[in-house]
Amino acid sequence: MKFVPWTDEKAVVSDLKVSPALLYRCDQAIKGLVCQPAWVLLLQAALELAGKRLFTAR
């Protein structure tokens, strides 16, 4: 795992392993804006961060 300082925003964005859309859906679920349980999306994000995908893209 590569750690970068918080001040280097460009490096943080380029090393992102979880899709921004999935993180946004996690945020929405936590806030109660979508019907999908937040724990499912958080599990999916954690697995994606670990290099495992829950679902395959078509």
Q: Averaged over 35-51, what is the pLDDT?
A: 91
d(CA 24, CA 18): 11
* CA pair distance 32, 18, nearest whole angstrom: 21
- Greater pLDDT, 40 or 11: 40
The domain limits of the chain are: 9-50
| Res 35: pLDDT | 93
* Tokens 């946004």 belong to residue: 24
